[in-house]
Amino acid sequence: MNKLIDRITEEVTKAFTEAGYDEKYGKVTLSNRPDLCEFQCNGAMAAAKEYKCAPFMISDKIAESLAANPMFEMAESVKPGFLNLKINSDYLAEYLNSMQKDEGRFGMDKAEDPKTIMIDYGGPNVAKPLHVGHLRSAIIGESVKRIGKFVGHNVIGDVHLGDWGLQMGLIITELKERKPELVYFDESYTGEYPEEPPFTISELEEIYPTASGKSKEDAAYKEAAMQATFELQNGRRGYQALLSHILNVSVTDLKRNYENLNVSFELWKGESDAQPYIPDMVEKMKKDGFAYISDGALVVDVKEETDTKEVPPCMILKSDGASLYNTTDLATLVWRMKDYNPDEVIYVVDKRQELYFTQVFRCARKTGIVKPETELKFLGFGTMNGKDGKPFKTRQGGVMRLEYLLSSINEEMLKKILENQKSKEDLDINEEEAKATAKTVALSAVKYGDLSNQASKDYIFDVERFTSFEGNTGPYILYTIVRIKSILGKYQAQGKSVEECLSNIKAASSASQKDLMLALSRFNGVIENAYEETAPHKICAYIYELANAFNGFYHGTKILSETDEETQKSYIAILMLTKEILEVCIDLLGFSAPERM
């Protein structure tokens, strides 16, 4: 379905060309003076220069021709030459009826030629618990993925586990200190290794920080860990078996954590999956003359003439021949191209890694790992800060585990829900429901609190504000949905059918109703824009406006006691559409609404 604003632009453009002006002047935008009009066109101001006359002479002419157009309730020329427009209310009602009939999509067309898009997000490191630093990547990546899928693309999320490198050697070394008798350390052993892992997740989570601490103090320990890493990477059987155990135990735990966040991945690949592709990749880079030795290391130049800041060469192999983070990311692109041939790869990573990704992208392009037309996008996000404006920490100053963060918000939310319930006699929620509801609402608080900011900006994690039922918050949006559900429930309790109301929307009878209807009509444009700009925050801004518009309408309108049946049906249809659009939008953000709260 065409966007409403495009349909309006089309009519205004026609008016311009019929009056003898160029079509480019007919562009219509949303009004920036909603007190005066709903849409505006400033084309006459620009056209006046070309046609050498006063702008209002043009806008007067256009307004006159639009006055006869049934699409508009008002088309006014305002000095010095603006066109102020209001859409005809019947036209708007019909537009919403068509949206409602377009089930599940509400006027948003599916992409005509779907792309394959891979999203690299999450990026947890195995054997380390998820902490708040991983929260943003998970939340933003999941939303970007859902938006892409809704638009109709083939979107594949890859968690890109950090499962290679020194951290693995550290764990192996510490395990060897503790249990040297394990068969994994016996180099002469040739049999099958046990299926049972030699540690639990909580042991694993304790082993890594212990090992990491020791290696900082004890040079010999660090040396041993590096040696273990080297042997693992060179295929030592026992260590590879240990790696599989570490991976299995970790991944099971990670999946549980991500599930609590309503985040999932199509692919659970890791850095280690890229290793087999490294030798050929490096060979080719050398053969093609891109890679050369500099200070012992193998590098590829990636600077460009237009650079204003220095972009250092991309290092492919260290002087000892060891691979790096870069090497892994490049080799990961090799299998991504081979197995999925994506049109686009989006990386949702901390923005402090921006220069690094500039190097990787340029190197991949230069050496032909990706095709010239493959788009590589870096979606860098800012830091989540505490109320003191510094990176979010525990009260003791440590890194906060994601689990703790979430459970503290769940508790906060549960308190609020129980309090809220006290003020409403008709709400008798039992403890179990209250807990489940608290979890749903808490997730909306965390996710909306994050996603409502432009990704690249830092933001302050403010539990108090995020969990509030008022203001620009997730719980406020859910509260609005729950309010609509409650009205619909009461309507049905009067023995009436909601289905019979669908697509029975009539012209607005109040300003607040028209505001709501205009907000609803913008849905397809908002989603298109959020997709094109990879910007979930645009959906947040939209649903906040939509929820406000709904609440404005709700407070000024008697819905359940309306006696005119047709008017009431129209209200109910609008309520349904509002509810459905809010629900689609929060699903794109990665959370859902409870039945009541």
Map residues 99-128 to x or -, x wherever contact with ligand ARG holds by CB under 6 A: ---------------------x--x-x---
- Answer whether 597's CB lies under 8 Å from 435's CB: no
Map residues 414-433 to x or -, x wherever contact with ligand ARG holds by CB under 6 A: --------------------
Shortest Å, Cβ 378 to ligand ARG? 10
Shortest Å, Cβ 139 to ligand ARG? 15
Closest CB to ligand ARG among residues 3, 160: 160
Coil, strand, or helix at residue 572?
A: helix
Closest CB to ligand ARG among residues 66, 402: 402
Rounded-to-integer distance, Cα 333 and Cα 362, Å: 12
Report the candidate in 117, 218, 230 with the shortest Cα–Cα distance to residue 165: 230
Shortest Å, Cβ 164 to ligand ARG? 10
- Answer whether 241's CB lies under 8 Å from 198's CB: no
Rounded-to-integer distance, Cα 544 and Cα 540, Å: 6
Residue 345: phi, psi to the nearest 5? -125, 125
Closest CB to ligand ARG among residues 84, 359: 359
Rounded-to-integer distance, Cα 529 and Cα 521, Å: 14
Closest CB to ligand ARG among residues 327, 437: 327
Shortest Å, Cβ 162 to ligand ARG? 4
* Percent helix, percent strand, percent coil in the chain, to nearest 5: 55, 10, 35
Site for ligand ARG in 483-512 (CB under 6 A): none
Shortest Å, Cβ 165 to ligand ARG? 10
Q: What is the 3-state secondary structure (H, E, C) of 342-398?
A: CCEEEEEEEHHHHHHHHHHHHHHHHCCCCCCCCEEEEEEECCEECCCCCECCCCCCC
Shortest Å, Cβ 539 to ligand ARG? 24
Shortest Å, Cβ 304 to ligand ARG? 22
Shortest Å, Cβ 119 to ligand ARG? 11
In the bound complex, which residue of the shown chain has the CB atom lying closest to ligand ARG? 123
Closest CB to ligand ARG among residues 185, 325: 325
Burial of 468 (0-12, 13-18, 19+ CB in 10 A): middle
Contact flag: residue 76 with ligand ARG (CB under 6 A): no
Map residues 529-558 to x or -, x wherever contact with ligand ARG holds by CB under 6 A: ------------------------------
Output the CA–CA distances (angstroms, integers) from residue 116 to 53, 113, 147, 161, 330, in the order listed.
51, 10, 13, 21, 19
Closest CB to ligand ARG among residues 328, 444: 328
- Answer whether 26's CB lies under 8 Å from 43's CB: yes
- Binder of ligand ARG out of 3, 160, 269, 538 (CB under 6 A): 160
User: The tokens 């459905």 sit on which residue?
Assistant: 580
Shortest Å, Cβ 435 to ligand ARG? 32
Total binding residues for ligand ARG by CB under 6 A?
Answer: 8
Rounded-to-integer distance, Cα 184 and Cα 466, Å: 48
- Answer whether 377's CB lies under 8 Å from 118's CB: no
Whole-angstrom distance between the N-terminal and C-terminal Cα of the chain?
Answer: 35
Site for ligand ARG in 306-365 (CB under 6 A): 329, 347, 349
Shortest Å, Cβ 329 to ligand ARG? 5
Map residues 55-74 to x or -, x wherever contact with ligand ARG holds by CB under 6 A: --------------------
Q: Which two tokens stand for residue 317?
A: 């192999």
Closest CB to ligand ARG among residues 331, 478: 331
Burial of 452 (0-12, 13-18, 19+ CB in 10 A): buried
Shortest Å, Cβ 161 to ligand ARG? 7
- Binder of ligand ARG out of 129, 141, 162, 198 (CB under 6 A): 162
Q: Is-cis flag, bond preceding 80, omega within 30?
A: yes
Closest CB to ligand ARG among residues 127, 349: 349
Residue 116: phi, psi to the nearest 5? -100, 120
- Answer whether 116's CB lies under 8 Å from 341's CB: yes
Shortest Å, Cβ 402 to ligand ARG? 13
Closest CB to ligand ARG among residues 162, 536: 162
Output the CA–CA distances (angstroms, integers) from residue 403 to 131, 329, 469, in the order listed.
8, 28, 23
The residues that touch ligand ARG, with contacts defined as CB under 6 A, are 120, 123, 125, 160, 162, 329, 347, 349
